[in-house]
Amino acid sequence: MSKFGLLVMGPAGAGKSTFCTALIQHLQNNKRPCYYVNLDPAADEFAFEPDIDIKDLISLEDVMEEMSLGPNGGLIYCFEFLLENLEFLTDPLQEVTDEYLIVFDMPGQIELYTHVPILPDLVKHLMRGSLNINMCAAYLLESTFIIDRPKFFAGTLSAMSAMLMLEMPHVNILSKMDLVKGQVAKRDLKRFLNPDAELVEDDPLRKRAKDKEPGKRDGDPKSTKNVMAGTSFHKLNKAVAQLIDDFSMVSFLKLDAQDEDSVGAVLSYIDDAIQYHEAQEPKEPKMEFDDEPMESRMDG
Ligand SMILES: Nc1nc2c(ncn2[C@@H]2O[C@H](COP(=O)(O)OP(=O)(O)OP(=O)(O)O)[C@@H](O)[C@H]2O)c(=O)[nH]1
Ligand SMILES: [Mg+2]
């Protein structure tokens, strides 16, 4: 029997927990069971009560106080502790059946997704071994980043870094699309959905700055003024964008968590990636979820 899971990742405030909530609601509306796992040791408010909450094992607040660590160091400590006590996660997950989508809500500390090898270890345990979960990663990036093109490519680089590090089925998502509605032309948006390195060169903010002072070159990259204005980093930004373009790995789906059709469209990509429906098809007729051994919080 397979199990199916989704790891919801991305920088702080990208809309991960809001997406998890919208997804659980959507699954509930479509009579699909869901198992919600909170792995953010600092999160304390949930629209749906998690089935597993890392805070029952360890809380960031306690770690910071007892170990005299800051929020980032504390978070790493919490995950190292989780890896040493994996049965906290794996024992209850053993019981979850293949109709369920197991949704893992992750914290927003970016180092988790870029260079600390904790998540690859965790994912290995979930995907291999006795649990054998078919997992997909969803990396969220806030769509407002597209207003600041260097920032968009920096975010895209972190998404690519997570893809390379985790080596698992992966979708990238531009969240909060409602916030940029009407501000970006459809044709321009396409260039962000499949990131095009030329976006750095065509940046209207950069053009506007140049128009203010025609004929002026970028100047000394070491001058405080240029560092503060960001112009010092133009060549670096271009190189990063080109690197992403050359790898040709990252593309984005659009998400507006308030729009159920949008949530459903993203879910259909995830279902394809984990081959959820293939596992369900032979099983007819469907059992009543009320008879399931595992209680989902979706009944209220
Ligand atoms: N307009 C709009 N706001 C959103 C959307 N999704 C999330 N937000 C808002 O963005 C803020 C952060 O959302 P969260 O879901 O808590 O983000 P997160 O990634 O879980 O944040 P951390 O767990 O702290 O890293 C909240 O104020 C949300 O209401 C969206 O689709 N549209
Ligand atoms: Mg969150």
14 lines ligand 1 (CB under 6 A): yes
Q: In terms of domains, do 244 and 115 share one?
A: no
Tens of pLDDT, residue by residue over 51-103, are 999 999 999 999 999 999 999 999 999 999 999 999 999 999 999 999 999 99
CA distances to 25, 240, 279 from 260, in Å: 9, 34, 24
Q: In terms of domains, do 239 and 260 share one?
A: no
* Average pLDDT over all residues of the chain: 89
Q: In terms of domains, do 47 and 103 share one?
A: yes
Q: Whose C-alpha lies nearest to ligand 1, atom 3?
A: 176
Q: In terms of domains, do 92 and 165 share one?
A: yes
Q: In terms of domains, do 141 and 64 share one?
A: yes
Q: In terms of domains, do 10 and 78 share one?
A: yes
Structure tokens at 284: 């007819």
Mean pLDDT of 27-49: 96
Mean pLDDT of 6-32: 97
286 CA distance to ligand 1 middle (Å)? 35
Q: Provide the residue range defining the domain that includes 230.
A: 202-248
Is residue 21 in a domain?
yes
Given a cut of 60, whether residue 174 has pLDDT beyond it is: yes
129 lines ligand 1 (CB under 6 A): no
Q: In terms of domains, do 172 and 82 share one?
A: yes
Q: In terms of domains, do 215 and 104 share one?
A: no
**Alpha helix (H) ranges present in the chain?**
16-29, 60-67, 71-84, 87-94, 111-114, 118-127, 149-166, 186-193, 198-201, 204-212, 224-229, 234-247, 260-274, 276-280
Q: Compute the Cα dihedral for 103, 108, 114, 119 and give only its sign.
A: negative
Length of the chain in terms of residues written: 300
Higher-confidence residue of 294 and 152: namely 152
Q: In terms of domains, do 104 and 75 share one?
A: yes
Nearest 5°: phi and psi at 197? Answer: -60, -25
Mean pLDDT of 211-236: 72
Q: In terms of domains, do 140 and 284 share one?
A: yes
- Indicate which ligand has the atom closest to the C-alpha of 9: 1
Q: Whose C-alpha lies nearest to ligand 1, atom 13?
A: 15
Q: In terms of domains, do 254 and 278 share one?
A: yes
179 lines ligand 1 (CB under 6 A): yes
12 lines ligand 1 (CB under 6 A): yes
Is residue 226 in a domain?
yes
38 lines ligand 1 (CB under 6 A): no
Tens of pLDDT, residue by residue over 252-284, are 999 999 999 999 999 999 999 999 998 886 655
Is residue 298 in a domain?
no
15 lines ligand 1 (CB under 6 A): yes
68 CA distance to ligand 2 middle (Å)? 23
Q: In terms of domains, do 244 and 260 share one?
A: no
Tens of pLDDT, residue by residue over 26-36, are 999 999 999 99
Q: What is the CATH number of the domain that holds 261?
A: 3.40.50.300
Is residue 64 in a domain?
yes
Q: Whose C-alpha lies nearest to ligand 1, atom 31?
A: 176
Given a cut of 60, whether residue 108 has pLDDT beyond it is: yes
Q: Whose C-alpha lies nearest to ligand 1, atom 9?
A: 15
Domain count, the chain: 2
For residue 12, which atom of ligand 1 is closest to its CA? 25
